[in-house]
Amino acid sequence: MTPEADALLAAWAQVSSPVAADFLRQRLGSPRADQVERVKNLLDCLAHRSPQQALRYARDLVAFADAGEDPAARVVARLALGNALLWSEQLEEAHRAYESARKLAELAGLALLAARCGVGQLGVLFRQGRYREALALAEAIEPVLSQDPSTSLYAARVRAQRATVLQYLGETEAALRAYAAASCCFRALGSTAALDLAVAQHNAGSLLAQLGRHAEAARVLEEARRCAQAAGSPLLAARAAAALARVDLAQGRYAHALQVFDEVASCYRQAGVPAAAATYLLFALECRLYLGEAERVAREGFRVARELEQAAFAAEACRARYLSALAHRQRGDLHAAATLLYLAHEGLRQLGREAWRAAAACELAVVRLREQDAAAALALAQDAASVWAQVGSPTGLGRALLVRSDALARCAELAAAAQDAREALRVGHRHHLAWLCVASHRRLSLLRPERRGAHLLRGVRWADRMLAWLPADLRAGLYAELADLYQHAVLYLSKRERWLETWRVVQSAKSRSLAWLLASHGLRLRAQTADSELVRQLDVLLNAYRHRLLGELQDAPAREEVDTPELEARIRDLVWRIQMHHPAFRSQSLMVVRTMRPELPYLPPDTGLLEYFVAGGHVLAFVGRADRTLSGLRVCGAQQVARAAALWGAGLRAFAASQLQPVQALRQARKVLRDLYTLLIRPLERELRAFRKLVVAPSGLLHALPFHAFADGDACVWDRWEVSYVPAGSLLPLLAHPTAGGPPVCVADSLRGRLPGAVREARWVAERLGARLWEHPTPQEFLEAVRGAGVVHVAAHCRFRTDAPLLSAVHLTAGPVTAADVLASDAGCEVVVLSGCETASPRVLPGDELVGFPRAWFHTGARAVVVSLWPVQDASTVELMQHFYDSLCAAVPLPEALRRAGLELRARWEHPWHWAGFVLMGDPSWKPPRAPCLPRSVNGGG
């Protein structure tokens, strides 16, 4: 806008509405059509930034024009009001404003102005889903506007809106031609039509994306975004960014799309347009559904649908019910899912939204299949496939073909089912839809037994590509949909004893998020923009969370009254978003992931890799050697291990609560450990005898088990082998990275005197290591103190949160240090010893992704962490740590130092609860400096 326009708006803002007409008369004189037209154009630009402010000024402009005698000025003022109402999503009021303007123009014999009013009415009719009425109106007013060169801009706008109507009526090629014609006109008109060009290109790009022409869509949408920015319309630029995100959504990059949709919704909310914000939250719900957040989608879908209905967005409200139905289906509530899908399907049918209706028909067919009604499912799937074929959407057509294939297979028409699955695969290849290729190969592996192996392995390769598109901590949700494919591939290969290929598929299925994080340390967003707004928001929320835990919310920087669960959810969302890469890094990060083909790690001659994987009710075990050979075996049934693990956990809890006599508890523990040894170690015992050290990579519930304490008679695994743990064998090379190796640090906190042993323990360790000691530090001092340390010893109360692992915390007197805090830092320490309770609690997400303390410290650069599997006893922990550090100061490697300490304790306390609770996770090759540890001056912190 010009300086004069800015000055007018600034002065206008100081004037109240009752005297605004007098203010405008003083600035502009008597109301004339040309003056009101200039102000209208100014308000149209303002509406793209602040619709509510533009709406207030438009009402003032109407009052100003009505005080004059010029009927054209009164018409133009009402056009300004209608535009502002339209941008504020107040559709009924906008329709009344345009209709009032049209009647005034017709009474005054102003045919061109009356036709211009129709341009605004087109927008309202389209938003209300009245497509046939909109098309008839466009055909009536376009010839009128095309007759006069002065209204060529409005004629082009009609063409653009007509194209949008054609798009929603399924006439895609005609719509694309109309968009192209309108865009040519807008370009010819230059800067005066920049906003119109942005709108036309946005709509054309969205249609191209729907047709699967993603490269063209990206170019057109990028032009739309640039035009919107050049025209000073942040809202339209945000809308173009959201359309680009829909391209990401169609290609499976759900996490990046989610970030954009959330930002665009926030942009519209801040601009005072909650209805538009709700439409983008609708797309965000879709992303969350694909990312495995079914509980959240089911909860929020109803609220979003209600907001959309209140804004008269009936079709979008049906879409919200559709997404909520999918979430209910994922949770197993088929009745709720069927009800919501039926309501969405019928509502969209009445509104004429065929594309969205076809999507509802597809998912309703899936529910009917689960209800054993194959005939109804087949009819719905065929209806959806014909609609998608007519509309020209590869994504929708591919989904319909898959559902129809499932229905045909249920009807025993296997040849036709295979044909549909092959056609879906062709669509996936043609349009680079990874999810469609994965799903098609999965079905073909069942429908074409002679090609089962080839289809499974190709499906796994496409699944790997699909997972590579997602940021690390969001990949687990999608993995839940792929687990079946991975498990079938593992079982197929293991039956044929193709153990190396089987192990590679296992690596693709295990801890890939953590692998991605470890491989991409240099590409993190946090390292590039440490002062970013997202990080600032996270700091505020974490401070609020700390104060909430301390009962000091009134002093928290975040003043909003927010329930603790909602606060925790917001923290989790921000941490996920911070871990997403800036778009500029995407090509690099994809390259890193795709070149990470899982390979057997290099091992010392005396070390063996013992890796497990649970698939199809079986536990598979792999043994890797220094010569990079590998063998495998199905060792036992998963149910047998599950029963033994349940007994182990129950026995530990009973012993800790003194519900069993010590002799009885010890007898029970020894029996369970013998059973576990028999199930998981004995089948491989002959091969393992060649090693002195074992690196154990568990799977699923096996993460909770102390393999080092499994016993064969009186001798346990620790009596024969050093043992360390790693989430997946292929992570070993990523953990064995060079580190700074700074001086050691000890942190102690008695939690207001409740843990006096923690301070004594830390003081002893600090003196033994010659370490700097921090007693009762603040959370910020804690994170600063450990930065770059060689060894970090933490003696404090730790609590693992199974419901919110990122909020697992080291509880200090001054407030908690959460796993989210650690993730948001760059600690860069080598070895972390967490001498607290349950610091390695075995919570795993789909895809065998460990969460909580170990993951957080690995992400910040640690090579190894020593953590506890269960709530440990204070006195035995102090003694174990003393033996452990005595060995470290004698330059004993980490695994051997922990083994010696545990066996020393076993001589005094026989029950494994005392001596087997701590494990080493990470790189077992780290060794302490050979120089003896000498006492240093002890410093206090905090």
Model confidence band, residue 252 (pLDDT cutoffs 50, 70, 90): low
For residue 126, count CB atoms less than 10 angstroms from its CB and return exposed for 0-12, middle for 13-18, buried for 19 or more: buried
Torsion sign, CA atoms 542, 546, 551, 555: negative
Q: Tell which wins on pLDDT, 644 or 579.
A: 644
Residue 28 pLDDT > 80, yes or no? yes
Residue pair 319/344 in contact (Cβ under 8 Å)? The answer is: yes
User: Taking Cα atoms as reference points, which of 784, 688, 679 lies closest to residue 742?
Assistant: 784
Residue pair 844/700 in contact (Cβ under 8 Å)? The answer is: yes
Residue 387 pLDDT > 60, yes or no? yes
Among 120-134, 432-446, 569-583, 594-608, where is mean pLDDT lowest?
Answer: 569-583
How far is it, in rounded angstroms, from Cα 786 to Cα 206? 49
Model confidence band, residue 531 (pLDDT cutoffs 50, 70, 90): very low
The DSSP code sequence of 375-406 is HHHHHHHHHHHHHHHHHT-HHHHHHHHHHHHH
Q: In which residue are the tokens 């499976």 written?
A: 252
Strand ranges (E), 184-261 = none
Residue 191 pLDDT > 60, yes or no? yes
Q: How far is CA 827 from the centre of its chain?
A: 24
Among 83-97, 120-134, 567-581, 640-654, where is mean pLDDT lowest?
Answer: 567-581
Read off the tokens for 321.
């019910």
How far is it, in rounded angstroms, from Cα 212 to Cα 426? 13
- Range 159-169 average pLDDT: 83
Q: Tell which wins on pLDDT, 425 or 539.
A: 425
Q: Tell which wins on pLDDT, 55 or 825.
A: 55
What one-letter code names the amino acid at 30? S
How far is it, in rounded angstroms, from Cα 818 to Cα 800? 10
What one-letter code names the amino acid at 368? R
- Range 635-648 average pLDDT: 96
Torsion sign, CA atoms 153, 159, 163, 164: positive
Model confidence band, residue 675 (pLDDT cutoffs 50, 70, 90): very high
Q: In which residue are the tokens 């014609």 written?
A: 181
Read off the tokens for 95.
């329709």
- Range 351-375 average pLDDT: 92
User: Taking Cα atoms as reference points, which of 497, 521, 661, 509 lies closest to residue 589?
Assistant: 521
Residue 586 pLDDT > 80, yes or no? no
Residue 839 pLDDT > 70, yes or no? no
Bridge partners, residue 723, by sequence: 694
Q: Tell which wins on pLDDT, 248 or 692.
A: 692
Read off the tokens for 727.
């989430």
Read off the tokens for 798.
């730790």
Read off the tokens for 731.
């992570």
Q: Tell which wins on pLDDT, 675 or 271.
A: 675
Residue pair 798/853 in contact (Cβ under 8 Å)? The answer is: yes
Residue 508 pLDDT > 50, yes or no? yes
- What pLDDT is stored for residue 511 in this prediction? 81
- Range 708-721 average pLDDT: 94
Residue 646: count of CB within 10 angstroms of its CB: 12
Model confidence band, residue 27 (pLDDT cutoffs 50, 70, 90): confident
Q: Which residues contact 649 (CB under 8 A, 6 or more apart)?
A: 704
Percentage with pLDDT > 90 across the chain:
39
- Range 782-811 average pLDDT: 83
Alpha-carbon distance values, 107 to 81, 100, 142, 771 (Å): 19, 11, 20, 90
Residue 535 pLDDT > 80, yes or no? no
What one-letter code names the amino acid at 787? R
Q: What does the pLDDT look like over 850-888, one tens digit per residue?
A: 767 788 888 888 899 999 998 888 788 889 999 999 999
Q: In what order do the strands lie in the sheet with 809-812?
A: 797-799, 809-812, 815-818
Alpha-carbon distance values, 16 to 7, 20, 23, 68, 504 (Å): 16, 6, 9, 20, 71
Among 251-265, 645-659, 749-763, where is mean pLDDT lowest?
Answer: 251-265
- What pLDDT is stored for residue 634 in this prediction? 95
- What pLDDT is stored for residue 580 in this prediction? 44
Q: Tell which wins on pLDDT, 808 or 152.
A: 152
Bridge partners, residue 832, by sequence: 792, 865
Three-state secondary structure of 462-525: HHHHHHHCCCHHHHHHHHHHHHHHHHHHHHHHHHCCCHHHHHHHHHHHCCHHHHHHHHCHHHCH
How far is it, in rounded angstroms, from Cα 337 to Cα 259? 27
- What pLDDT is stored for residue 561 in this prediction? 41
Q: Which residues contact 704 (CB under 8 A, 6 or more apart)?
A: 645, 648, 649, 842, 869
Q: What does the pLDDT look like over 180-190, one tens digit per residue?
A: 988 998 888 88
Q: What does the pLDDT look like over 393-407, one tens digit per residue?
A: 898 999 999 999 999
The whole-model pTM stands at: 0.68
Model confidence band, residue 829 (pLDDT cutoffs 50, 70, 90): confident
Based on DSSP, count helices (H) and strands (E) in the chain, helices before strands: 43, 18
Mean pLDDT of the chain: 84
How far is it, in rounded angstroms, from Cα 859 to Cα 516? 10
- What pLDDT is stored for residue 536 in this prediction? 64
User: Taking Cα atoms as reference points, which of 37, 111, 45 lies closest to residue 74?
Assistant: 37
Q: What does the pLDDT look like over 194-242, one tens digit per residue?
A: 888 988 898 898 888 877 787 788 889 988 988 888 888 888 888 888 8
Residue 727 pLDDT > 80, yes or no? yes
